[in-house]
Amino acid sequence: MDWIREKLEELKLQSLYRVRLQREGLLDFCSNDYLGLKDHPEVIEASIRVLKDYGLGSGASQLVSGYTKHHRALEEKLAQFKGVPCCVLFGSGYLANLGTISSLIEDRDLILSDELNHASIIDACRLSKSKVLVFRHRDYEHLEELLQRERKNHRRCLLVSDTVFSMDGDVADVRVLKELSKDYDCMLYLDEAHATGIMGKSGRGGLELFGEGWEEYIILMGTLSKALGSYGAFVCGSKLLCELLVNKARSLIFSTSLPPSVCAGAKEAIELIEKYPELPQRLRALSAYINENLSALGFEVPFHGTPILPIMVYEEAKALAIRDHLLRKGLLVQAIRYPTVPRGKARLRLTANLKYKNEELELLLGALKEVSPLPPL
């Protein structure tokens, strides 16, 4: 097995070797639990009630005996929250993208995908065996050029984009994507993993942010694992879409369903977002505050009004060194490197979270000041 040793050595030489850091005892500044709901007492309480009643696992896939009133209730809640007729649950966002994209698109079809889409979309495109064209990040003129050239040669067509890009925090132009989908008779697939619960006035996601309504050709995927503080994922759209997924999506059919307690916790989280509609706005204000402070320290932190605040470091080794400096102070801000982001675009993954206390943020800013790119005054 020398080849494994050699492969790992190669990764180490390029500063691309990975280890899993145990989180206990550290202040976590890079999670996706943006609203702090994973620890909310009402979310935990709702989940425990169902856990006691139903036990730990769901016991089977949705189509065998793993579908309960808690799965259904969450699907109905999500459909109402997203403003669509129907919703289907998946075991994770990765599984949702794999199962849905490969159910919608087959080998004679066409997918157009943003170059910075999440890895699970890239893998889903590969699995579909269709023609896949990648357009430059958020470059919709390039997308239209590709559509003009290729659309006529294919049967079905899917435009696919993250709504909020997970490692850059910038936002797709949902309005333009909708127009292009209509003009070129394509389906539009939006991965709302980082938009659900936080984007738009009341956290409903990309369509709300752009003041747009849902239409039948739009498929909204999202995760329960980020702002909803739980685990799992969903795909929303027309009733026909849901029927197709239940019958065709292999990652739904051949995988154990979510535990009922997880569904109950996620449903409670959505109800909290509805009950406290100021949460998304508070998160935006906190994100802007952190960004201003980091910029004042001389860091390059592209800001797009989302809680994803990448501190650009570029060099992989340097990103690791800053991460380790923060770790020694008990602060967890993970270094993100290739292949999660392109080579030479390493960054620290800092995210805003409503549960941060002022003194915790001060600790973080103090520790970052010690490695600030600005010379000391």
Ligand X SMILES: Cc1ncc(COP(=O)(O)O)c(C=O)c1O
Residue numbers at the binding site for ligand X (CB under 6 A): 92-94, 97, 118, 120, 162, 166, 191, 193-194, 223, 225, 233
CB of 90 to ligand X, least distance (A): 8
Q: How far apart are CA 66 and CA 57, in angstroms?
A: 9
C-beta closer to ligand X: residue 92 or 113: 92
Q: How far apart are CA 278 and CA 370, in angstroms?
A: 35
C-beta closer to ligand X: residue 191 or 268: 191
C-beta closer to ligand X: residue 336 or 368: 336
**Residue number with the smallest Cβ distance to ligand X:** 93
Own/partner long-range contacts of 311-317 (Cβ < 8 Å, ≥24 apart) = 311/347, 311/348, 311/350, 311/368, 312/345, 312/347, 313/346, 313/347, 313/348, 314/344, 314/345, 314/346, 314/347, 315/15, 315/344, 315/346, 316/14, 316/15, 316/16, 316/343, 316/344, 316/346, 317/15
CB of 2 to ligand X, least distance (A): 33
C-beta closer to ligand X: residue 144 or 347: 347
C-beta closer to ligand X: residue 166 or 181: 166
CA-wise closest residue to 181 among 216, 227, 224: 216
CB of 155 to ligand X, least distance (A): 26
93: left (phi over 0), alpha (psi -120 to 50) or beta: alpha
CA-wise closest residue to 75 among 244, 258, 348: 258
CA distances to 169, 243, 266, 274 from 162, rounded to whole Å, are 10, 24, 21, 24
First to last CA, the chain: 54
Element housing 335 (H / E): strand 335-336
C-beta closer to ligand X: residue 96 or 311: 96
C-beta closer to ligand X: residue 191 or 316: 191
CB of 249 to ligand X, least distance (A): 15
CB of 116 to ligand X, least distance (A): 10
CB of 35 to ligand X, least distance (A): 16
CB of 226 to ligand X, least distance (A): 7
